[in-house]
Structure formats: C-alpha cells, structure tokens
Amino acid sequence: MFLLGTWSTIGVRRLSFVCSRVEQQTVKTWVFQSISIAAILSIDVGYVRAQSTSASDSAIGTTTRSIAPRKLASGVLTIVAPDQDSEDTSLGPFDLDFVDKHPELEWSAPDFPEKKPHFASPSETLLALSRDVIFRHDVWGLEFSFKPARFIEVDIPTASGKLQRKVVWYLVYKVRYIGEDLSPNVDVNQGVDVPEAPTNVRVDSVRFLPRFSLLSKERGINMDAQILPAAMDAIAARERVGKPLYDHIQIGKINISASTPEEDASVWGVATWTDVDPRLDFFAMDVRGLTNAYKIRIDSDGKKNFDRKTLRIYFWRPGDAIDESKDRILLGLPAFETKDRVEYYLKQFNLKERLDYQWIYR
C-alpha cells in the first residue's frame, strides 16, 4: 500500500508538467480510485483469512466470531436446580430374577425336613440373600438453565441436495455441575443395614448425555431433537451467548468440571426440531440425562422397567398455523379465566395445577 501510494504521488507530479489542468484532475481521480480499490481488496482478503482461521480453530460446536456476547437481563434464564433426593440413592427391595426361575434351590423335604440347612442359618442361603435386595448407588445432578423456546427460519438441505426454507423450533440452554452429589450411608447393626443420611460428594467432572423430546397429547406428537448443522450458526449469531453452542450429540463429548464461585464452567447447548405441526398450541419438552437417578417399576406381567428421572418443561403458544415463526412461545401454563379452558389444558398433561416444569420418571 505504501509503495502504491508513493508511485501514485510521483506519477501525478510528473504528469502535471505535460497535462492540462482538467487532464490532471482526471488522472488524480483515477489514481485515488485505484488506491481505494486496492485498500478494499486488502481488507477483504484479511477478513477471509481471519474467518478461515477462526473456523479451523473450532473443532466442534459453533464458530466463535468477534461478536460481543449479549448480556441477559435478570429473569431471562429459567434456572432449575438439581433435584437431589436421598430416596434416589436406594432402590428396592426387589427379589433377584433367578429366585423364581430356580425353585430347586429351595431347602425342602425330604432331604431337609426343617426346610433349612443343617449347620447354617437360613438367612445365609443363596435364596435368602437374593430376596428383598436393596440397591444403593451414588446420585449426581446438573443445574439446567434455559431461555424461552423460539423459532428461526433457516435453509435446510434436503435428501435431494437442494435447500428448503424451514421453520426451526429450538431451545437454548446451559448446564452447570455444582458438585453436590449424594452418596448413600449405611450402618450395619447386628447384621441389619440401617440407612443414614447420605453424604455430599464431588467428582472432577461429569458428562451430559441428553435426550430431548417434544411432546403434545392434543396432536399426538413425540419427537426427539434433530441434528441440524445448517441452523447452528444462525442460532448462535442470533442468541450470542458468548461461548460455543453444541447440539445434543456434541455436548456429550465435553467433560463438565465442577463450577466454583471464582470460575463458571457451564456449557451451552441447543436442541432443535423441524417439521413440527404448526397448529400446535400446548406442548412440553422432556430433558433426560441431567441426573443418573432412576426407578425400577414392575408391571403386571412381572417385567422390570427402568424409568429415568426427567425434567419436563411446559409451554404454550398463542397463535395459529399461519406465519408460525412470528408467534411467541410462552413458558408454563396459560392463566385462563374460564374453568373449562383451564381443565382442558391440565388434562393434556394429567396435571392437577398450573406448573412451569416438574421432575418426573419415564
């Protein structure tokens, strides 16, 4: 740029001896236009190089650009604390599966007339030890904060390779590991386990392996979140959280260390859906993976079902199927005045009262 400017100045001075005043002005205009074009090209090249470098530095998640993060006002984020319950550290009592499958293990007549071993306590037999078993385990949990669910229109690649404009429903959230985990405590008194208050423990880091589902009883919808790479940058540019934004697969690769008052180690993510019925008014989002707590439920056939502790968030959308991206999604249940409308909404999720969210097992 310096050489180009120097050459241009010398050229103008030499031409001033042989050109008229009008011609001199024309030459000056042409020279300075050339300098401006060269400057613009150099800026564009630098921008492209910087953009390419930034993209290569980000292995997973959205690209972090030089955009100032948006400072969120108080109340924008809904914070759900970990639901640490001492009852989640124990399961049972249950009989182990082989108890009913192997009746020959019973101490029965005629070999054992008293239906017990000759030289051992009945409580020490294999079948006795396999009945009324209580399973105990440590329980950890994550704090979950989320912004109101929103819409955005994005060009999504189709199976044919062409782009199609679609409305994306999405939920931006962050997870934080506080470290107030629970570890069961048991005192053995005369051979009997006596449970005591659990102990608070902490590990170095945990991983969030989420599963997001969008549910609606009125429309018969149960949709898992989708991977939409084409929408990630558009959502990140709109939300400006100041950190990389991960989808529900990428975030599972991140070790979430314990946050302290001095350091916030929270991780941001987004769950996305497309092709959602635009007539949807009332719906919920289920978030699994925030804790390892679960329950064992035995059905009428004797089959064991494992229900995981799940955060269910309720939403409603006052709008219609026209221009759905311009509608707003509101948290919680609507405060309808008429009793019939309130009962209709509560019936959609088998609720007895208005709630924004709740912990369930499913």
348 and 282 Cβ atoms separated by less than 8 Å: yes
- Four-residue CA torsion sign, 350, 351, 357, 358: negative
d(CA 17, CA 13): 7
pTM of the model: 0.77
Q: Coil, helix or strand for 88?
A: helix
Helix intervals (H) in 121-244: 126-129, 229-239
309-320 pLDDT, tens digit per residue, is 999 999 998 877
Beta bridge partners of 221: 216
The residue to which tokens 């205009």 are assigned: 29
236-282 pLDDT, tens digit per residue, is 999 999 999 999 999 999 999 999 989 999 999 999 999 999 988 89
Q: How far is CA 204 from the centre of its chain?
A: 21
Q: What is the band of 12 on the pLDDT scale with cuts at 50, 70, 90?
A: very low
d(CA 61, CA 233): 9
Of the chain, the end-to-end C-alpha distance in Å amounts to 67
pLDDT of residue 267: 97
Q: What is the band of 107 on the pLDDT scale with cuts at 50, 70, 90?
A: confident
